[in-house]
Structure 1
């Protein structure tokens, strides 16, 4: 789990989708299997 500084709600809209893509791509490249994934607005 990671959290934005001061829990700013920046993970929304296009930014949220891009972060999701980056995380999935990185996990695929490292051979990591995501069991459960949830993106909240502040972490």
Structure 2
């Protein structure tokens, strides 16, 4: 999660970020968040 977050922030805050790369990083962040929620749910 931390790796994806750092990479996404770098892409999102760069001046020359393309919409395609922004969409890709948003999608990977959403996927990582869903995965994290599943893991937390199983640990209870």
Query: More relative contact order in 1 or in 2 (CA 8 Å, sep 6+)?
Result: 1
More helix by share: 2
- TM superposition score normalised by structure 1: 0.48
TM-score, with length taken from structure 2: 0.48
